[in-house]
Structure 1
């Protein structure tokens, strides 16, 4: 599967770079439209109760119809700042431990200022399911090893490199809180630096996403994460190409009705990314 999706993503990447010529304004609009989705999905994976619509309203400074606690409010606003920082700075500097600490400070400020911008200290242990994260004294050394392994693997497909990096980062769990969200924005930092488009790991895929961590913790297996990242990359390219190539964008359900094709069959193909469908604002769409 990884070989197939890697070849598919490479072809999409080449097509995207050709279609993106002189389309900077449109690409900026696509990015801006995705911020709320990035924030919603990443926070929802961490059990935030905010809906996508509520996240949208918070980022647009529109009053909500219900009371939400202060933590969820800052989680949305802070993560949006981090996402925007990634977009603006990914091509300017190599990722580093100092950059990770800066992102964490932006993310956790006004939520837990006592831990914002620093790695876990002595006696700050973290358990994720049955996995006990790295000992605090080993965190910095393990993170240096993680970056070294990533830089030494340029001969491997990006999907494999990023999967190994992301799983290793989450396995180390260097912060007291916010590791999942920082890990997912680091994915996009690296993707953008390597000339790829950002991805959005969806809340609806959370169970499989956690399965990927369990498989890695048991025997170092990265295949589930490779599949998740590969499909997310493919979907991200399909979305951008639909807009850049001026296609008629419609829901997959409407497309199935128009073309008199089985909707369930199309859904299966969309999930496998064997058609040019993409997930946007809670539904599958396609550029017809």
Structure 2
């Protein structure tokens, strides 16, 4: 069973330090945004390297011989993340409207499909479950939001893990579900005062196995809870060290 004592201890430690100044925070935010965009898009098959992603996001440079789709996915993910930050500031509760707005930014390259629930059946390559038929998607999304609200007594890591697993199970959109789902995961973590996490492309097999485990073990979310906890602990430790050093220099 995963416990969250270490995560809570690290968050308390982080909050005990003097905050970084605006310039330092912007630098960390930019670094995270580039890495998060690269990894989240790469998991879904985007061919841009980390360096190419950085050039597109920071400089607006077009990468020779790379598809326009890949460029738009990088820009769209960046805009979606910046929108998530706005939602965090306003403490906006998760809703179908919020989900569709984030998806509309993610799917910048497919205007006709942005923010619209899929109208055709889909299968997920390598997955052991089949997403629901299109006519069931609106009902299941409504139920997902209601279920998430009922999980408020759980630790944020546990309830976001369950939400993420269920969201990807429904697979409500024709494309962009993974990227949207990981943005929603970070939205909820950040609203609770935690840093966002970046699930690495190199960990994609373990990440996919979390979904397999969920569907083969009676909807037990423990594998996803463990993955999110590990990433959150690592991110908190990194932030604590950065802020500690900055405080010592001051």
Same fold (TM over 0.5): yes
Counterpart for residue 57 of structure 2: 59
- Give the CA deviation at 1:9: 0.3
- Give the CA deviation at 1:64: 5.8
- Is 2:241 aligned against 1:212? no
Counterpart for residue 44 of structure 1: 42
Contact 2:34 2:53 in 1 (8 A): yes
Counterpart for residue 121 of structure 2: 125
* Matched length: 243
- Give the CA deviation at 1:12: 0.7
Q: Deviations over 1:80-129 (max 9, x none)?
A: 110111112223111211111111111112x22121111112xx111113
Query: Distance in 2 between the 1:144 and 1:23 partners?
Result: 41
Contact 1:167 1:216 in 2 (8 A): yes
Local SS of the residue matching 1:60: helix
Contact 1:30 1:240 in 2 (8 A): no
Contact 2:195 2:236 in 1 (8 A): yes
Whichever of the two has the greater Rg, that structure is: 1
TM-score, structure 2 as length reference: 0.91
Counterpart for residue 221 of structure 2: 222
- Give the CA deviation at 1:23: 4.2
The 1:244/1:130 distance shift into structure 2, 3 A limit, reads same
Moved over 6 A (4+): none
Contact 1:171 1:217 in 2 (8 A): no
Contact 1:40 1:55 in 2 (8 A): yes
Counterpart for residue 2 of structure 1: 2
Query: Distance in 2 between the 1:243 and 1:187 partners?
Result: 24
Cα root mean square deviation, aligned = 1.8
Partner residue of 2:84 out of 83, 86, 91: 86
Contact 1:26 1:244 in 2 (8 A): no
How do 1:94-109 and structure 2 match up within 5 A? 94-109=93-108
Structure 2: gaps (5+ residues)? none
The 1:81/1:215 distance shift into structure 2, 3 A limit, reads same
Counterpart for residue 136 of structure 1: 134
Decide which structure has greater strand share.
1
The 1:25/1:89 distance shift into structure 2, 3 A limit, reads farther
TM-score, structure 1 as length reference: 0.79
Query: Distance in 1 between the 2:110 and 2:63 partners?
Result: 26
